[in-house]
Structure 1
């Protein structure tokens, strides 16, 4: 495990500009045009609009002595704005904790454009959305359209567009859940403590930042529940929402238990990694849980990745008050998430039945939580 000080001392002392330059050298630059940009249809959470970009086949990165994550051959990639801190994370993670690479989206490269700015990008995607048929629009996450139509914020200094592996590509009808980890959702270098807006984060170490799922079956309407919904959940109702997410597309006890077990299998090595690595601390980082609503195949295919590193920082242990230690908040969150899933799995094996939409509707009927959007 790459958690010792000596192995990263030179790398961690590099300036932000040097780290980002090194990342640019070891990856590629992707050009953005009006022809190769489109709206990302499955956005679950986040402040900024995400989009897809068509990219050419991968080319070997320029020769560099610095390690980098492999760049797969992909026809499309996910594009998002990244802060300097997130860029530093992608620039340093391969050298400081290579074990993390298999649990995060692959960094495909930087995205540049000579003809498009934030307003032009939104204009292109808004035109695309306006031309969608009712059927096609029903297959787009309401959150994708919400952030697309939201206010265009001034780009933060140093923020760059980056391309990451589109984790939805293996799925024809992806269901996704954004599970934010930790008991505090702010960086330790902030002067003012940011209040935790999610009650379950304080007690369980995780909360729900967004849910995208199909109501009743893969042929049902696409439903989205946003961060405001997640903020109203309790230690009890959050488990019910997890169960609804997992059980929404099948009544088969066998498939339900197989799906839960598939997620537990993916979560176990992530938990073990957090119990061992001491170099990185994460705030507002999420686990993105995904599966295909069709549940095709004998074993459900799932994806679990860590995403969002705008508040991740490298902890060398040399700064006052920042001794090397494991990230207890994330460990608490993953442990409790897995415990909830084991309880849900036991219910599945016992043949427990319940209408998925019933729980979510009953949770909203008192006005305590908010249903953000629903299509169909």
Structure 2
């Protein structure tokens, strides 16, 4: 557990404006680097990360100390950042220089920071807190569209208290987690017509039924003028590849992990022209659940997911290199090594694969409709 001391520098950090879900705070250190509170199991996950999962997880950058300073009614946060992190970016202490659209972004991270302080006593003794540094997945995007999805039919970890276990079981049972193995925990999507963002939080996601979730997924790939078929199709390919990786990995049990789907919502005039047909079909398409086949409780791999060999799978994922859509697994605070668990945790990876299969089928049906 090493802190980098070479040319460390205390710099001001700000709440990450593009955080859409989760209960722990995210800070932006530089344009390319964010950080989140340290959790031992998450740290161990990144230390034991299998090679084939690296393309589906954020880039781990090390540990960092974070402190807060109180000045009258204002609170400022600082991180002791390793020199190599600062050297790799054009660090700016002024966070107000960006001219990109921020209207509609209510910054979920601010409420998470308050929770860390009030509920967990962060910085209560003016001490430093350990944080994990990760790559900012949307650092190069002009209009980041982000969807946070809680995966699986079971979301409590082995270390959850009985009270927490009961709460999470009830939350799953009364949401799309039980029926589909997926639940929206947060979403932001750029709306070209109004030049602002549409944003939903986890409370909206919990209230959705199966049809409502499907409509929200369609909305995620729509900028209010057109359905982005290119990014939607690219996302399906990425998710198929992830399904293959998860179904063949034998290292971890994933409890309470999420998927982060993201793409750049910025489209220039040429891109609008290329998708003009999609725009017309989107305007005439109803919001019924037609074409949705993801609600059945089958654990068998659907035909749409069957791939003859991995070479073909990799080729499928690389057919469209011009899009930006991508996916990452996040939140590994309850992830455990399978070697540390005596008995098979039924419903763990099966529930995640079940949810992933439904997500793929829903998105494919949207692309085909």
* TM-score, structure 1 normalization: 0.68
Equivalent residue number for residue 343 of structure 1: 365
Aligned CA RMSD, in angstroms, stands at 3.5
**Hey, what does 2:254 align to over in structure 1?**
282
Structure 2 partner of 1:257: 229
Map of 1:206 onto structure 2: 182
Aligned length: 291
| Structure 1 residues 320 and 151, CA gap change in structure 2 (3 angstroms) | closer
Corresponding residue of 1:110: 63
Superposition deviation, residue 145 in structure 1: 3.7
CA distance, structure 2, for counterparts of residue 186 and residue 228 of structure 1: 18
CA distance in structure 2 between the aligned counterparts of 1:246 and 1:272, rounded to whole angstroms: 24
Q: With structure 2 as the length reference, what TM-score do the two structures score?
A: 0.69
User: Out of 212, 215, 219, which is 1:244 matched to?
Assistant: 219
User: Could you give the per-residue CA deviations for residues 206-246 of structure 1, whole angstroms, max 9, x where no partner exists?
Assistant: 1101001123x175222221111111111111000000011
Gaps of 5+ in 2: 79-92, 275-321
Residue of 121, 140, 164 corresponding to 1:154: 121
Distance 1:76 1:28, change over 3 A: farther
Map of 1:310-325 to 2, 5 A cutoff? 310-316=333-339, 319-322=341-344
Matched, 1:233 2:208: yes
**Matches of 1:326 and 1:201 in 2, distance apart?**
13
Write the deviation string for residues 220-274 of structure 1: whole angstroms up to 9, x where unpaired: 22222111111111111100000001113542x6xx2212111011111110011
Instruction: Spell out the pairing of 1:72-83 with structure 2 (5 A cutoff).
Output: 76-83=32-39
The question of 1:46 aligning with 2:36 is answered no
| Equivalent-residue separation in structure 2 for 1:304 and 1:135 (angstroms) | 23
Q: Which residue of 2 aligns with 1:124?
A: 76
> Could you list the per-position Cα deviations for residues 141-190 of structure 1 after superposition, in whole angstroms to 9, with x for gaps in the alignment?
4323433455613249x973011000011211101000111101111343
Map 1:1-376 to 2 at 5 A.
21=1, 24=2, 31=8, 33=10, 35-54=11-30, 76-93=32-49, 97-113=50-66, 116-117=67-68, 123-124=75-76, 138=103, 140-148=105-113, 152=117, 153-155=120-122, 160-192=130-162, 193-194=165-166, 195-196=168-169, 197-198=171-172, 199-215=175-191, 217=192, 220-251=195-226, 256-295=228-267, 299-316=322-339, 319-322=341-344, 327-347=349-369
The answer (yes or no) to whether the contact 1:141–1:212 under 8 Å persists in 2 is no
User: Shift of the alpha carbon at 1:51?
Assistant: 1.1
What is the alpha-carbon distance in structure 1 between the residues aligned to residue 205 and residue 8 of structure 2? 36
What is the SS of the residue equivalent to 1:202? helix
Structure 1 unaligned regions, length at least 5: 1-20, 55-74, 348-376
